Structure formats: C-alpha cells, structure tokens
Amino acid sequence: MTIADDTLTVAVRVKPGASRARVGGRFDGPYGPALVVAVHAPAVDGRATEAARRALADALGVRPATVSLRSGAASRDKLFLVERPHDGLPEVLRRLRDGSTA
C-alpha cells in the first residue's frame, strides 16, 4: 500500500472461482503484503478482475469508478489504484488485510 499523487496503490491477491465472495486476509506476494479478494467469477475474459475491482471498492467504502487496475490483468497478483482516498482508508485497508481490530 502506497499513497502518492492523490492515489492509493493496493496490492491484491485474487482467488477466482471461490464458493463465496469475501475480502480479507493477507498474502505475501510479489508486491509485498497483499489483500486477499475471493470472488465467485471465473478467471475468464477479465471477469475475476472486474469482480475483484468491485469487491475491493465495496470493502473500502468507495465508488467502483474510483478503483482501477494498474497492473496484473492476467495474474492473480494485481495492483489497483484508488483515486482520491479519504484519510481513514489506509487504516481500513490495514484492518482488512491484517485482521486487526484496533
């Protein structure tokens, strides 16, 4: 997770084809600690990526239009950009990723 130029970069590990969608957990991937996003959509024609983008926006409490894919279109490990993140967003992301309740 990095913040620059009014954007927040979020590392995500997508688990396509999950029996139920959920956002939470940590995966140590190529971009460092990543948020796990399990989606029901299959990894076909970008459907899992789109489902992950929408699930991430919902979990962070932002509009889907403010979340875009930066890299990883054909990979489970992705970087998403969140435009104009609010001040509490990094903490929300940290809680989702690390499971902290404080």
Is the CA virtual torsion 12, 78, 89, 23 positive or negative?
negative
The pTM is what? Answer: 0.89
Total domains in the fold of the chain: 1
Question: Which pLDDT tens digit goes with each residue over 21-63?
Answer: 999 999 999 999 999 999 999 999 999 999 999 999 999 999 9
Domain of 15 in residue numbering reads as 2-98
Q: Return the beta strands (E) in 1-102 as ranges.
A: 2-4, 7-15, 22-29, 32-38, 67-71, 77-83
92: domain CATH number?
3.30.1200.10
Question: Which pLDDT tens digit goes with each residue over 76-102?
Answer: 999 999 998 778 888 898 899 988 544
Cα 35 to Cα 16, 31, 77, 82: the distances in Å are 14, 11, 10, 14
